[in-house]
Amino acid sequence: MQRIANFFHFEELGTNYKTEILAGLTTFVSMAYILFVNPQVLGASGISQGAVFTATAFASAFGCMLMGILANYPIAISASLGINAFFAYSVVIGMKVPWQTALAGVFVASILFMILTAFKLREKVVDAIPRDLKMAISAGIGLFIAFIGLSQGGLVAADKSTIVSLGSLQVGSTWLTIFGLLVTVLLMSARVPGAIFIGMVANSILGLVTGLIPMPSHIVAAVPSISSTFMVGLTHVGSINSLQMIVVVLTFLLVTFFDTTGTLVGLAEQAGLVKNNKLPRIGKALMADSSTMVVGSLLGTSPMGAFVESSAGIAVGGRTGFTAIVTGILFIFGAFFSPLLAVVTDQVTAPALIIVGVLMAQSLKNIHWEKFEVAAPAFLIVLGMPLTYSISDGIALGFITYPLTMLAAKRGKEVGAMMYGLAVVFVLFLWILNAA
């Protein structure tokens, strides 16, 4: 046991087995919904939901374990939200591309993704981002996932006249979210260890007792077959033979590149892993998530990437790769206990996401707000993520603006060549995304 603790540097990072296991469990519970959401979204494209469920579970397990062992980061990997909707609704339904060809697009994009990582281009991008923008990314992700929590929990809702408004308090599930949020806030304020996880358990119990969460009819279920999706992405590569599919591949590549890179930066900042504006072992972390994208495409799911809900585990003390490994093991078990996972509804995870948003928003204090040329792009990143409902779009707004404001402030020489290049790339990125 001591050898394992030494391998993950428990003492150096100020953690222990109990904390890491609790963090891994909390991360898993916070992101377990992806096992159900991803099949629902991709199922709209005609793919077997059962196959997607299994592919998501095992690809996530692979990614989490690889991240833990290779990079020693407490960051979990699973199917990226948003890009799965692009896969199903834009590519397959909108462009009428067969889902088999769309999976081939994901496979090709993942290979390109891995090549960029191998040549350390992603690592150079991360190191080139100014600290103020890294802080903005971390805070922006916090607001983004808090907004997701508020929306999923029913506390805010879409409104035609005001865009968003307060959700209905006449719905029992909304009060379940409120109960979980209050319990977690009080436990956090009282400095109770594992407050977020305890709040989620309490919320689940109340939901089952009141009938707001349906009692599962059974606990264990057979793992659905992936025979209909296994290796389909590889066998249909020849179908990528049009300009339309090239645009699709580039979109998969660009969205995943910036979504996962931004998420990794924000989560690493939250975990206190950033040293002198650099992330130790970032190359290994990037290789872990790009390798997982390849595996996911071969198993039969949309692009994989670092998951923002990892912040829940980090918030309860997760600091090493052991947290990610625990999460990965639970994903394997999750494939066998799918009926039990149905207990983890949006109302159970919503309070955790909101609280984590509060914690990640602390990065705002490290931004030089008194310098407008820095404050403006940072603000666009922070506000852009929740309002565009996209991590990559928020980053794009800030990264395009940053070189311009620095030039206007006669500080253009302080902007590295990489940041100027990224501004151009993001302009192209937004144009390609809009064209798709």
Looking at residue 325, its pLDDT comes to 97
Lowest-pLDDT range of 33-37, 162-166, 227-231, 301-305: 33-37
Residue whose token pair is 């050898």: 3
Tell which wins on pLDDT, 217 or 411. Answer: 411
- Which has the closest alpha carbon to 173: 369, 349, 423, 414? 349
Please give the torsion angle defined by the CA atoms of residues 258, 251, 383 and 260, in that order, rounded to the nearest 10 degrees. -30
Q: Enter the DSSP assignment of 304.
A: E
**Is the confidence at residue 281, as pLDDT, over 70?**
yes
The confidence score (pLDDT) of residue 150 equals: 93
The predicted model gives 21-37 an average pLDDT of 88
Buried b (16+ CB within 10 A) or exposed e, 213-232: beeeeeeeeeebebeebbeb
Residue-wise pLDDT for 178-195, tens only, equals: 999 999 999 999 988 678
- Quote the pLDDT of residue 378: 97
32-88 residue pLDDT tens: 888 888 888 898 899 998 899 999 999 999 999 999 999 999 999 999 876 787 788
d(CA 106, CA 129): 27
The string of pLDDT tens digits covering residues 403-427 is 999 999 999 999 999 899 989 988 8
Whether 436 shows a pLDDT value over 60: the answer reads: no
- Quick one: pLDDT band at residue 5, thresholds 50, 70, 90? confident
Q: For residue 157, which of 169, 147, 165, 146 has the smallest C-alpha distance?
A: 165
User: What integer pLDDT is reported at residue 63 of this predicted model?
Assistant: 96
| Residue 300 banded pLDDT, cuts 50, 70, 90 | very high
User: Quick one: average pLDDT of 273-289?
Assistant: 81
What's residue 229's pLDDT? Answer: 94
Burial label, 202 (beta-carbon count in 10 A; 0-12, 13-18, 19+): middle
User: Quick one: which H or E segment has residue 26?
Assistant: helix 17-31
Contact predicate 134/374, CB 8 Å? no
C-alpha to C-alpha distances, 65 to 52, 70, 89, 210, 291, nearest whole angstrom: 20, 8, 31, 37, 12
Share of the chain above pLDDT 90, in %: 44
- Given a contact cutoff of 8 angstroms between Cβ atoms, the answer to whether 285 and 73 are in contact is yes
Among 232-236, 248-252, 320-324, 413-417, the least confident range: 248-252
Strand pairing partners for 165?
157
Nearest 5°: phi and psi at 199? Answer: -65, -40
pTM higher than 0.85 for the full model? no
**pLDDT given for residue 18 in this prediction:** 92
Give the per-residue pLDDT at 341. 67
Per-residue confidence (pLDDT) for residue 316, from 0 to 100: 87
